[in-house]
Amino acid sequence: MNWPAFWLSLQVTAVASVIILVVGLAFALLLVRVRFPLKILVETAIMLPLVLPPSVIGYYLLLAFGRGSPLFEWFNIRILFTWQAAVAASVVVGLPLMVQSSRAALANVDPLLENAARTLGASEVRIFWRITLPLAQRGILAGMILGSARALGEFGATLMITGNIPGRTQTLPVAIYDAVQAQRYADAHLMVLVMTVLAFAGLLLARQLEPPTLGKRTRQPAEASI
Amino acid sequence: MSPRLHVNFIKRLESVTLQMNFAIDTEILVLFGPSGAGKTQTLQAIAGLSTPDSGSITLDDTTFFQRVAGKPLINLPARKRRIGYVFQQYALFPHMSALENVAFPLAGRRNARDRAMELLERMHLAHLAHRMPHELSGGQQQRVAVARALATEPRVLLFDESFSALDRPIRERLHEEIRALQAERQLIVIYVTHNLDDAFAVGHRLAVVRDGRIEQIGRIDDVFTRPANQQVLNILGIPNAINARVVETGPSGALLDWNGITLEAPPIDAPRGAQVVAYIRPGDIRLIYPDHPLRPVVGSNHLEGVVVERRPERHVHCLRVALPDGRRIEAVYPASSYTTMNLTPGESVRLALRKESIVVIAVHQGAPHSDASRSDSRPERNPVSMSPS
């Protein structure tokens, strides 16, 4: 068992999860609440990592963070071949799942309840925190868990942009690949088992959160009756 | 007293264009009309949940909305209008208890929970304060919704088909509560319904809404005894509308020709030969026992026909009668009357109508044949009362 890889994976996943939650929720809100031109293109672009080959994602990340990129030259962000690069790769692949799930959950909150809150004197910010978010929380949580599980399992792009440095940038999935290459099968067995258990637990949790039971009862299309 | 809430706006919707213009005092106004007529949209415009295209909405000295040429645009957000809105689907927050729901609008105030509890007590729900909405019956949920709407201490309370999903006895009790609350707190109440029983039970005045406009507004019994036009008749479901021609008119009464049947009517302000739309009040029609001489009911019109259907309602019976030429007339009488008469379908029956039971609601001047068939010659729209200056 490669413990440094295990702990690094947890660290990468934890940081990525927080970013996925915040950024994903922002995107979901944007897509549910704001009307803007070419929205469908933005939606599609967010979903793209679900279907692109990992090498393509890795290549884009190399472009984004490499020498000559705005992030590198202007903002002095130099994360390639560090563990932060693994976080970046994890965020990109985990985000679509978060956006999808939390977007559905937010859209599922009955606008009637938000309207009722408005007539009761609540500001939009208060409505979001007291009504919308609590009613959508299961879907949002499920999305975050799915995104985190996907982040934990990220392999291809991570391999390309972290350089696979044992003890520094080598995450668990990459370590498994290494172990198999070196024919250390006992090592690989254990790590595969750990990965499977973690992924299984994550999916199970997400599935249990998935069907939101709150907020659906009074659902009716807004302004259905004139 | 001068009216307090002035509503005067235009809003174009996909199916209909709303042109609302009315004013309300401290009273209960019922908006009645078919679905799609614009009743809910009107409430939403008043509450600030939708924005009219133009016009103005004012309550006492506060302008809620104003989009009038030459004046600055005003559109007070819903949360600042302090209008209580009770929705048909209750719209309680499902993740909060009854008490938390009522306390929601009171957040940040001192004694919020005590105030919320008082309101629940007022609605006879104190014992259920800690239940979640899904643990309450429909009637209880709606009481919580009313308590919650009262928490903002609104001057205006809007009911949008609020009780239509509830059973009749529960609805009747809630109507009593609404009337009591209205009087107790001097509220302006607008009550939207498509149920006439509800309108009678709760309303002081009635506005008949059709195609985004108010066809007639007035005291409920006035609207029923003097409907402004054919549309109001139809919407109120008043039967016995007739098209007739004035044969003779004088100070003591008029004679109408209803396609071959001559009817005595009260005096009419219309020349001979004019076409009129009238209706025969169903409750004023008497049945005559077969062995009874006609003498005692002299001065009335007499019709003979065949019973088509007898429909018992709660306190009255409705009797539909076909005249020899197929025209139908509907009579309504107390359930306790005519119990010894055989009124099964197919039996012949004689009807007596006093001339006062014939109410002329519109006069078409001019040639007898031209107007009645033209669809665009709608009777004069009754001017909506009290338009804001």
Q: Inform me whether the C-beta atom of residue B75 falls under 8 Å from chain A C-beta atoms.
A: no
Structure tokens at B157: 């309370």
Q: pLDDT for A10-42, tens place per residue? A: 999 999 999 999 999 999 999 998 889 989 999
More confident residue, B117 or B223: B117
Q: pLDDT for A137-166, tens place per residue? A: 999 999 999 999 999 999 999 999 998 888
Q: Inform me whether the C-beta atom of residue B186 falls under 8 Å from chain A C-beta atoms.
A: no
Residue A139 lies in a domain: yes
Number of C-beta neighbours around residue A71 at 10 A: 14
B38 to chain A: closest CA residue: A226
Residue A105 lies in a domain: yes
Residue A215 lies in a domain: no
Residue B222 has pLDDT above 90, yes or no: no
Judgement on whether residues B218 and B356 belong to the same structural domain of the protein:
no
Q: pLDDT for B283-314, tens place per residue? A: 888 888 777 666 555 567 888 899 999 888 87
Judgement on whether residues B248 and B204 belong to the same structural domain of the protein:
no
Q: Quick one: B166 exposed, middle or buried, by C-beta within 10 A (0-12, 13-18, 19+)? A: middle
Mean pLDDT score of chain A? 88
- The structural domain count of chain A equals 1
* Whole-number Å distance between alpha carbons of B249 and B253: 6
Alpha helices in B196-289, H assignment, sequence order: 196-202, 220-225, 230-236
Domain boundary among B233, B255, B289: B233
Residues B270-289 have a mean pLDDT of 86
Judgement on whether residues B131 and B274 belong to the same structural domain of the protein:
no
Residue B366 has pLDDT above 60, yes or no: no
| DSSP letter assigned to residue A72 | H
Q: How close does chain A come to B63, measured CA to CA in Å?
A: 16
**Domain span including residue A136:** 3-209
Q: What is the CATH number of the domain that holds A120?
A: 1.10.3720.10
* Whole-number Å distance between alpha carbons of A81 and A174: 14
Give the helix/strand (H/E) hosting B286.
strand B285-288
Judgement on whether residues B9 and B113 belong to the same structural domain of the protein:
yes
Q: What is the CATH number of the domain that holds B61?
A: 3.40.50.300
Residue B380 lies in a domain: no
Note the pLDDT of residue B148: 96
Note the pLDDT of residue A173: 92
- Backbone dihedral region of B33: left (phi > 0), alpha (psi from -120 to 50 degrees) or beta? left
Of A112-116, B75-79, B186-190, B309-313, where does mean pLDDT reach its minimum?
B309-313
Residue B159 backbone phi and psi in degrees, to 5 = -115, 120
Strand B328-334 relative to strand B316-322, pairing: antiparallel
ipTM of the complex: 0.76
Residues of chain A positioned with their CB less than 8 A from the CB of B48: 118-119
Note the pLDDT of residue B298: 54
Residue B383 lies in a domain: no
pLDDT band of residue A220 (cuts 50, 70, 90) is very low
Q: How close does chain B come to A223, measured CA to CA in Å?
A: 8
Domain boundary among B192, B217, B233: B233
Alpha helices in A52-82, H assignment, sequence order: 54-65, 70-73
Cβ within 8 Å of residue B263, ≥6 positions away? B244, B255, B256, B257, B301, B353, B355, B358
Q: Inform me whether the C-beta atom of residue B87 falls under 8 Å from chain A C-beta atoms.
A: yes
More confident residue, B130 or B303: B130
Q: pLDDT for B259-270, tens place per residue? A: 888 898 888 888
Residue B389 lies in a domain: no
Judgement on whether residues B258 and B191 belong to the same structural domain of the protein:
no
Q: How close does chain B come to A91, measured CA to CA in Å?
A: 31
**Can you give the pTM of this predicted structure?**
0.77
Residue B247 lies in a domain: yes
B192 to chain A: closest CA residue: A226
Distance of CA B116 to the CA centre of its chain: 33
Residues 15-44 (B) with a CB less than 8 A from some CB of A: 15-16, 35-41, 44
Residues of chain B positioned with their CB less than 8 A from the CB of A122: 79, 104-105
pLDDT band of residue A172 (cuts 50, 70, 90) is very high
DSSP states of B81-143 as a string?
Answer: H-EEEE-TT----TTS-HHHHHHGGGTTSTTHHHHHHHHHHHTT-GGGTT--GGGS-HHHHHH
Structure tokens at B235: 């919407």
Per the CB < 8 A criterion, the answer to whether A23 and A91 are in contact is yes
Residue B299 lies in a domain: yes
Judgement on whether residues B273 and B219 belong to the same structural domain of the protein:
no
* Whole-number Å distance between alpha carbons of B119 and B146: 9
Q: For chain A, what is the largest distance between any 2 Cα atoms, rounded to a whole number of angstroms?
A: 70
Cβ within 8 Å, pair A225-B83: no
Judgement on whether residues B162 and B192 belong to the same structural domain of the protein:
yes
Structure tokens at A69: 């990129």
Residues of chain A positioned with their CB less than 8 A from the CB of B89: 112, 218, 220
Residue A222 lies in a domain: no
Residue B103 lies in a domain: yes
pLDDT band of residue A2 (cuts 50, 70, 90) is confident
Number of C-beta neighbours around residue B35 at 10 A: 12
What is the amino acid identity at position B373? Answer: S
- The structural domain count of chain B equals 2
Domain boundary among B233, B264, B281: B233
Residue B378 lies in a domain: no
Looking at chain B, the whole-number percentage of residues with pLDDT higher than 90 is 49
* Whole-number Å distance between alpha carbons of B117 and A85: 55
Interface with A, mutate which of B102, B104, B161 (most A CBs under 10 A): B104
Interface with B, mutate which of A108, A113, A118, A119 (most B CBs under 10 A): A119
Judgement on whether residues B193 and B246 belong to the same structural domain of the protein:
no
Cβ within 8 Å, pair B79-A134: no
Residue A89 lies in a domain: yes
Note the pLDDT of residue B289: 77
Residue B294 lies in a domain: yes
Note the pLDDT of residue B134: 94
pLDDT band of residue A219 (cuts 50, 70, 90) is very low
Q: What is the CATH number of the domain that holds B304?
A: 2.40.50.100
Cβ within 8 Å, pair B148-A218: no
Whose structure tokens read 């007639």?
Answer: B216
Judgement on whether residues B155 and B252 belong to the same structural domain of the protein:
no
Note the pLDDT of residue B386: 37
Judgement on whether residues B221 and B241 belong to the same structural domain of the protein:
no
Cβ within 8 Å, pair B48-A130: no
Cβ within 8 Å of residue A147, ≥6 positions away? A17, A20, A21, A24, A94, A95, A97, A98
**Domain span including residue B286:** 234-373
Cβ within 8 Å of residue A21, ≥6 positions away? A98, A140, A144, A147
Q: How close does chain B come to A224, measured CA to CA in Å?
A: 9
Q: Inform me whether the C-beta atom of residue B108 falls under 8 Å from chain A C-beta atoms.
A: no
